[in-house]
Amino acid sequence: MMNSLWIAKTGMTSQQNKMDVTSHNLANVSTTGYKRQNAIFEDLMYQNMRQVGAQADEQNMLPTGMHLGLGVRTVATTRNFTQGTPTETSKELDVAINGNGFFQIQMPDGTTAYTRDGTFTRDANGQMVTSSGYPLLDGITIPADATKVSISKSGLVSATIAGNPAPQQIGQLNTASFINPAGLEPIGENLYRESAASGAPQAGQPGTNNLGTVMQGFLESSNVNVVEELVSMIQTQRAYEMNSKAISTSDQMLAKLSQL
């Protein structure tokens, strides 16, 4: 069988994976705190038909070799953690991070997850929770008779209680950063999990230790650029069509060979 059939097949598979990644980016263009993904490719092993630098004869050396490639594969998907545009919502429990860092979320199994989505609300017990109902690791509980909640740039949470004009501190909203945020494991629901590749989290007060500050009344939009994704989609489609054409041409060549 001609190697070109298999080589073109690997190209079509890789471009299909890239299209899946692009579609996922476009689907999450309005997802709060979403970070754009990108597919990474690498070439497969080579058939070494003639070694570089081999002896052509007793006196001469081959200046080049002959290496026939066997295709391509998708080796990884990476995330671009550049900050999305902060969008004002004027909701007192909406919080965006201006700079590096992640909010720390307590999961039902006792582990900690991390997110850039600061769409928080109160549950039946007054705890600050995510849209999925997971509480903040900091365990911030808002009193039932609170009339106003204020969150400073450093994450200090204060509440104004009915009948008392002086704000009372009710908690500290801390954030965490990673040496390699691209190594975080996505688990859905706008959450990430620590992995060996991401390194251990460095938690602290916003505005310290290279952690960004927080902005009350704002949410971070996704960093997906629709125009870039559409251009990538067109390029992916063209590459897929060219690989498909290579398979068709190889098939015609084999058919012609069988007629000899």
Question: Mind listing the pLDDT tens digit for each residue in 163-216?
Answer: 888 889 999 999 999 999 999 999 999 999 999 999 999 999 999 999 999 999
Give the mean pLDDT of 19-42.
96
* Cβ-proximal residues to 156 (8 Å cutoff; 6+ apart), any chain: 169, 172, 173
Q: How far apart are CA 2 and CA 185, in angstroms?
A: 39
Give the mean pLDDT of 223-236.
96
Among 144, 152, 140, smallest CA distance to 95 is for 152
Residue 255: pLDDT band by 50, 70, 90 thresholds?
confident
79: alpha, beta or left? (left if phi > 0; alpha if psi -120 to 50): beta
pLDDT at residue number 250: 87
Tokens 């505005």, located at residue: 207
Please give the mean pLDDT across all residues of the chain: 92
Residue 184 tokens read as 């975080």
**∠ CA 228-229-231 to the nearest 5 degrees?**
65
pLDDT at residue number 99: 94
Q: Is the pLDDT assigned to residue 18 strictly greater than 70?
A: yes
Q: Is the pLDDT assigned to residue 10 strictly greater than 60?
A: yes
Give the Cβ contact number of residue 4 at 10 Å: 17
Give the mean pLDDT of 117-139.
95
pLDDT at residue number 192: 97
Q: Is the pLDDT assigned to residue 58 strictly greater than 80?
A: no
Give the mean pLDDT of 210-223.
96
Residue 1: pLDDT band by 50, 70, 90 thresholds?
low
pLDDT at residue number 50: 78
pLDDT at residue number 165: 82
Q: Is the pLDDT assigned to residue 114 strictly greater than 60?
A: yes
Residue 37: pLDDT band by 50, 70, 90 thresholds?
very high
Q: Is the pLDDT assigned to residue 224 strictly greater than 80?
A: yes
Q: How far apart are CA 106 and CA 137, in angstroms?
A: 5
pLDDT at residue number 245: 94
